[in-house]
Structure 1
Amino acid sequence: MTDVAVAATPPPDQPPQAPPPSAATTPNPLLNGPILPTLLRLAWPNVIALTAGTCVVIAETAYIGRLGTEALAAMALVFPFVILTMTMSGGAMGGGAAAAIARALGADDTERAAALAGHALLIGIGFGLLFTALMLLFGRPLLQLLGGRGEVLRQALDYVAVFFGGGVVPWLMNTLSAVLRGTGNMKLPSFMVLTAAVLQIVLGGILGLGLGPVPQFGMKGVAAGTLIAFSSAAAVMAWYIVSGRARITLRLAGLRLQRRMFVDILKVGAVSCFSPLQSVLTIVIFTHMLAAFGDAVLAGYGIGARLEFMLTSLAFAVGVASVPMVGMAIGAGRVQRARRIAWTAGAVSFTVVGLFGVAIAVFPDLWVDLFTDDPRVTTAAHHYLRAAAPMYAFIGLALSLYFSSQGAAKVLGPVLAQTARLLFVALGGAWLIAAGGGAQAFFLLAAASMAVLGVLAALSVALSRWGARGQPV
C-alpha cells in the first residue's frame, strides 16, 4: 500500500510560508502555451517511443515468421488479446488515471493528484490479476472459437501461458506510465517504452529463435522476452515516482482508500475500457470469419493488422499528449481551449496516419516483404492493405478524439462510436457469409467500418457538452 505525501507544517518558531501561486498565475505551457507547438512538444517523445514499438512489431513478426506459417497464424489468434491488454491498461484505464490526475493539477490540487496515483496503481494490479485468471482459465476455448486448431492452437497456447501468466506486468508498466503522463511528463515514460522495446527485440529474438547456448523456446520465448522487458521499465518508473522525483509524491506506508478517488478514475477509465474491448471484439469476429478461408488468408490479415496497430500508435502518441492538456484546461475552467486542443490533435492524427496508410496501400511490398515470401500469404496481405490501409486515417482520428474526451471526462460518445463499428462488422459479416462473399469482400467491410468509426467519433465530440454547467462550451 502507499500513502500520499503532504506538505510538512512549518515549525512554530518559523513564520508561515506564503501559499504557492495558483495554477492561474503559475506559468504553465499546458494551460497557456500555443496549442499546436505544445501538443507536438508533448507528442514527440511518444512518437519516438512508439517508433521503437514499430521496430518491435517488425522484428517480432519477422522472427515469428521464421518459426513458420503456423507461428504467424498463431500470433494472429493471440494478437487481439495482447492488444486488449495493452490498450485497456495504457489507453483506457491508464487514460482515465492520467486524465483525473491532470484535472486535479489543473485545479492546483497536488495532494488529490497524488492520492489518485495511489488508487490508480491498486486498480492496475487488480485488473492485471483478473486478466491472468481469465486467460489462463478460458484461453483455450477463446482461441478455438477464433478458429485455432492443431499446431496453430498449440503455439498460440504456448504464448498465452507465459504472457498472461505474468499479466500484472503490462498493467503495472502502463499504469505507472499513465501517472507520469498525467503530470505532463512524457519524456520518462517514453524513454522507458523505448528501452523496453529494445530489450523486447533482443530478448524475444534470442529466446524465441535460440542463440548459442540458449535453446529455441519458440512462442514461449517470444512472450518471456516481452515480460522481462516490461518488468524492467515498470521498476524504473516505480522508483522515480516513489522517490519523490515526479511532480506528485507517493510513500510506501499505508494508503487511505477513498471511494471518490476510485470514482474519479473509473468514471472515465471503466467506460473507456469498453472501447478497446469492442475494438478487440471487432477483430475477434473478423478473425473468426477469415479463419474459414485458411491459414494463408489469416496470416496475411495478421500482417496487415500489425501495420494498423503500428500506424494508429502514431495517433496514440498525439492523443495521449492531448490528455493532460485537455484535462488541465477543464480543471482550470477553460473549456473552449480544451475543445481546440481536441480538434487540433484529431487533425494531426488524421493527416499523419492517412499519409502513411495511402503510401502502404500503393506500395504494399514495403511492408509485406518484411515478414514473408509465401506467395499465398503475400497475396492476401496485398488485398487487405489495398482495401483497408487508406482508411486507417479514420481510426487515427477516432483514437485521438477518444483520448481528448478522456481529458474532458466525456468519453461515452467515442465509445459508442466503437459500438457502432462493432455492429457494422458483425451484421455486415453475417450478410456476407449468407451471400457467399469472398475474402476480398470482408476486407472491404473492414475498410468501411473504419470510416464509420471516425465519422461517428467526430460527431460525438462535436455534439457533446464539455465542462461544468455555466462554463462556456
Structure 2
Amino acid sequence: MQSYSIKEVFHLFKQAVSGKEQDFTSGSIRRAVFMLSIPMILEMVMESIFAIVDIFYVSKVSVNAVATIGLTESVITLVYAVAIGLSMAATAIVARRIGEDDRTGASKAAVQVIFLGILVAIIISMIGLFYPKEILGLMGGEDDLIAEGYGYTQVLLGGNVTIMLLFLINAIFRGAGDASIAMWALILSNSLNIILDPIFIFGLGPIPAYGVKGAAIATTIGRGVAVIFQLAVLFYGWSKIKLGFKDLVIHISVMLNLIKVSLGGIGQFLIGTSSWVFLMRIMSEFGSEVLAGYTIAIRVMMFTLMPAWGMSNAAATLVGQNLGAQKPDRAEASVWKTGKYSAIFMGSVSIIYLIFSPQIISWFTQEPEVVRNGALCLRIIAAGYVFYGYGMVIINAFNGAGDTGTPTWINFVCFWLFQLPLAYITAIILDFGPLGVFFAITLAEVMITVIGLVWFKKGKWKFIKV
C-alpha cells in the first residue's frame, strides 16, 4: 500500500488548498481522496465555525437568545434542505459533465442552478420578513423569547439568498473538482462573521447593540460578501467552470434535468430536516434551559460532523467524475476508502466528547441546568459517531451518482417511521424527557448507516444516468 512521508503529505496539502487543476479519474485513489477531502473538510469546518461563533457571543446575551437561535435554525434547515437538494444535483451533474470532458455542459448546469436558487430564496424571504413572530410561535417559543428574538429570525430568513447561493455555487465548484475555491469562500465569510459578530451584537461606536439580531446581521453580511467572491471567480477567476454574461440564458432542458435530479435530494433533506423541526418542538416542551443545552450541544457536534461531511462530499465528486469517465469500479473503491477514513476520524472525536462533554459545554455557558442537558446530549449522540462517519459517505455516494431517490426512502423510513415516533413515545409518553430524544437521534443514524451499506453493495447506483 502506498504511504507518504510527512514532507510529501505537507506538499500534497499545499497542492490541495492551492486550487491547482487535478484529474481525479486516474492515478492513486488514496491521493485523489486526500486532494479533494482536505479543502472540503476545511470548507465544512469553516461552515461550522459560523455556528460556534454565533453561540459563543449570543450566550453572553441571554438563555432566550440561545434558544431563539435553536428554534430559528431548526426552521432555517428547511432552507438548507432546498439548497442542499439543489446542490447535490449541481455536484452530480457538473461532476458527470467534467468526467465526460464536457465543460460547456457543466457551465450550462451551473447557470441554471443559480437561477433556481434565487427564485426559491425570494419566496422564502417574503415569509421570513413578514411572519417571524408567527414562525417562532409555531415552534413553541414563549412570548418573552419571541419579543427578544424575532429580529434574528427576520434577518436570517429574509437574507436567505446568501445561504442559498453560498451552498449552490460551492456545490458547482466541488463538482468541478475545484474544492479549494469553495474553501476560500467559506474562509472569507467566516473571517467577516468573527469580526462583525461582537460589533453588531454588543454595539461599537455608531453601531447600536442589536443583541441576538446582530448575530444574524453579521452572518448575512459575511455570507453575502462570500457570494460576491464566488461570482467573481465564476466570471473572472481560475475555476474549471467559466461563465460570461452571454451564458446567463435559461435552458429549459438543462433546468428540468436539474429539477428532476434535485427532487430526490430536496425530498431526502426535507424529510431529515422536518424531522429535526419536530424534534426541536418536542424539546421545547422541557423549557428554555433544556432547549439551550440541546442547541449548544448540536452546534458543538456540527463542528466535528462537518469534516465527515467534507469527506462525504469528496466521495460524491469522485463517484460523479469516475462514472462520467466510465470507471464505476474506481468510483466504488473511492467510497470504501473515504468511508474508512471518515469512520476513524469520527471514532476519535467520540472519545473526546464522551470524556469531556461537561467541560466543552461550559465554555459556552455556566448555567448548571444548561450544561447538564448539553453534556448529556453530546455524550449520547457521540456514542454513534463511528456510524455517522461511514453513513455520511455512503449516503452522499448515492447522491454523487445522481441516485438521490435511494437516500430519500432511507431517510423516510429511519426518520419519520422510526426516529420521530420513538422520540415522542420515550420523551413524552414514557416520560424519559430529553433523554428519549437523544437516544432516538443516535439509533436512527445507526439505522441509516446499516441500510445504506446494504443497498450500496447492490451496485444499482452505478447505472444511473444524469
Do they fold alike, i.e. is TM over 0.5? yes
**1:82-121 correspondence runs (5 A):** 82-86=76-80, 88-89=82-83, 91-121=84-114
Change (3 A) 1:154 1:341: farther
Query: CA contact under 8 A between 1:333 and 1:467: conserved in structure 2?
Result: no
User: Mapping of 1:60-459 within 5 angstroms?
Assistant: 60-86=54-80, 88-89=82-83, 91-137=84-130, 139-243=132-236, 245-253=238-246, 255-423=248-416, 424-432=418-426, 433-459=428-454
Q: Which residue of 2 aligns with 1:5?
A: none
- Are 2:37 and 1:43 equivalent residues in the alignment? yes
Deviation at 1:464, TM superposition (A): 4.5
Which residues of structure 2 form unaligned runs of 5+? 1-20
Hey, what's the Cα distance between the residues in 2 that align with 1:367 and 1:443? 18
Q: SS of 1:436's equivalent?
A: coil
Partners of 1:67 and 1:280 in 2: CA distance: 27
**RMSD of equivalent CA atoms:** 2.1
Q: After superposing the two structures, state which structure 1 stretch, 226-235 or 44-53, moved more.
A: 44-53
Q: CA deviation at 1:151?
A: 1.9
Gaps of at least 5 residues in structure 1 are 1-26
**Number of residue pairs aligned between Structure 1 and Structure 2:** 443
| Identity over aligned pairs, percent | 23
Following superposition, the deviation at residue 362 of structure 1 comes to 1.7
Superposed CA deviations along residues 23-71 of structure 1, whole A, max 9, x for unmatched, are xxxx963000211221111111222233333433322111110011111
Give the Cα separation in 1 of the matches to 2:174 and 2:191.
21
CA deviations 1:406-453 (Å, max 9, x no partner) are 221112222222212222122113322223332223322222122122
Shift of 1:209: 1.8
C-alpha separation in 1, matches of 2:262 and 2:40: 21
Q: Give every structure 1 segment of 4 or more consecutive aligned residues whose post-TM-superposition deviation is greater than 4 Å.
A: none
Q: Which structure has the greater CA radius of gyration?
A: 1
Change (3 A) 1:254 1:102: closer
- The 5-angstrom pairing of residues 26-37 of structure 1 reads 29-37=23-31
Residue 253 of structure 1 aligns to a residue whose secondary structure is: helix
Contact 2:174 2:182 in 1 (8 A): yes
- The whole-number CA distance in structure 1 between the counterparts of 2:205 and 2:435 is 44
> 1:217 is paired with a residue of what secondary structure?
coil
The 8 Å contact of residues 346 and 396 in structure 1, kept in 2 or not, is answered as yes
Question: 2-side partners of 1:367 and 1:304: how far apart?
Answer: 9
SS of residue paired to 2:222: helix
Letter in 1 for 2:441: A
Q: Contact conserved, 1:106 with 1:327, CA < 8 A, in 2?
A: yes
Kindly indicate whether the alpha-carbon contact (under 8 Å) linking 2:424 and 2:437 is maintained by their aligned counterparts in 1.
no
When residues 462 and 280 of structure 1 are mapped into structure 2, their CA distance, relative to the original with a 3 A threshold, is: same
Asked whether the equivalents of residues 52 and 198 of structure 1 are also in contact (C-alpha less than 8 Å), the reply is no
- Hey, what does 1:19 align to over in structure 2? none
SS of structure 2 residue aligned to 1:246: coil
Q: TM-score, normalised by structure 2?
A: 0.89
Deviates more, 1:195-204 or 1:458-467: 458-467
Q: Per-residue deviation at 1:234?
A: 0.8
Counterpart-to-counterpart distance in 2, 1:366 and 1:39: 34
3-state SS of paired residue (2:59): helix
Q: Normalization by structure 1: what TM-score?
A: 0.88
Once structures 1 and 2 are overlaid, which stretch shifts more, 400-409 or 214-223?
400-409
CA distance in 1, matches of 2:148, 2:301: 23
Larger helix proportion of the pair: 2
Mapped contact 1:326–1:341 kept (Cα < 8 A):
yes
Q: How far, CA to CA, are the matches of 2:270 and 2:407 in structure 1?
A: 13
How far, CA to CA, are the matches of 1:240 and 1:439 in structure 2?
46
Offset of 1:256 from its aligned partner? 4.2
